Amino acid sequence: NANLADLAARKKQKLATNLIRKALAMWHWIGTNLPPSDFVCRLDPDTLFLANRFRHYAQENCLGNQSMVYLGQVQHTMKVWVGDFPDGGAGICLPWKAAKAFAAMLEDRVHKYAEGGEAGPGLPEGCRMVPGHLDDVITGFCFQEMNLLPHHGLVSAFGQTRFNNQPLPHDIGEDEGGRPFPCVAVANDWMLEGRLPDLFQ
């Protein structure tokens, strides 16, 4: 049964992968080994990061390396079980002071591998070096323990999120009269078409 096989694979991924441990070890290493900087960001390989826009946001909101907030898309989907956490797919950025504080908090935990605990529907619990792949959820637990909150300006007055885990917009095509025709045309990814400048006009 394909569904049972998929469930078994997901359970194995939750219990056997080490992404959580790698992510926490990475944050600890950054805060204890790198020279001071303004901000540190954890980004997935497929994340589009617009450095100029990030700098503009930081300057506009008077954020610097001594700020104690985190920047990212706040995820509420599992709030009832784990609280709010920064979505890893959208990227997580910390001012240097917050990165150092995070590393200091992890100092006595980073070499203590714990067994996986569960909260709600098979979710990890607590800021611990547990097996699994939900590193952003665990990071959220750590931030909650640190009382590190998201910056208040991450959602604009128009409801736009400054960090987003959604795909880029797609070109939906046109009918014979040149009008948008979204239901039939094959969508082409703007990135593959080299149309990223269209996003920023």
Specify whether 74 is located in the same domain as 25: yes
Q: What is the pLDDT of residue 75?
A: 84
Nearest Cα neighbor of 75 from 86, 64, 65, 89 is 86
CA separation, residue 139 to residues 2, 93, 146 (Å): 32, 12, 10
Number of domains in the chain: 2
Q: Which long-range contacts (CB under 8 A, 24 or more apart) does 75-81 make?
A: 75/136, 75/140, 78/120, 78/123, 78/137, 80/120, 81/119, 81/120, 81/121, 81/123
Specify whether 126 is located in the same domain as 196: no
Q: What is the pLDDT of residue 187?
A: 45
CA separation, residue 5 to residues 1, 8, 16 (Å): 6, 5, 16
Specify whether 108 is located in the same domain as 172: no
Specify whether 180 is located in the same domain as 139: no
Is 77 part of any domain? yes
Q: What is the pLDDT of residue 133?
A: 81
Structural domain of 177: 167-201
Measure the CA–CA gap between 42 and 143, rounded to whole angstroms. 15
Q: What is the pLDDT of residue 125?
A: 72
Q: What is the pLDDT of residue 184?
A: 40
Is 85 part of any domain? yes
| Tens place of pLDDT per residue across the chain (201 aa) | 556 666 666 666 556 668 888 999 999 999 999 999 999 999 988 888 889 989 999 999 999 999 999 999 888 777 777 778 888 888 899 999 999 999 999 998 888 876 554 444 456 678 988 888 888 999 999 999 999 999 988 877 776 677 776 655 544 555 566 655 544 434 455 555 555 555 554
Specify whether 180 is located in the same domain as 89: no
Is 154 part of any domain? no
Q: What is the pLDDT of residue 178?
A: 64
**pTM of the complete model:** 0.73
Is 156 part of any domain? no
Is 171 part of any domain? yes
Specify whether 57 is located in the same domain as 116: yes
Is 162 part of any domain? no
Specify whether 133 is located in the same domain as 171: no
Specify whether 73 is located in the same domain as 21: yes
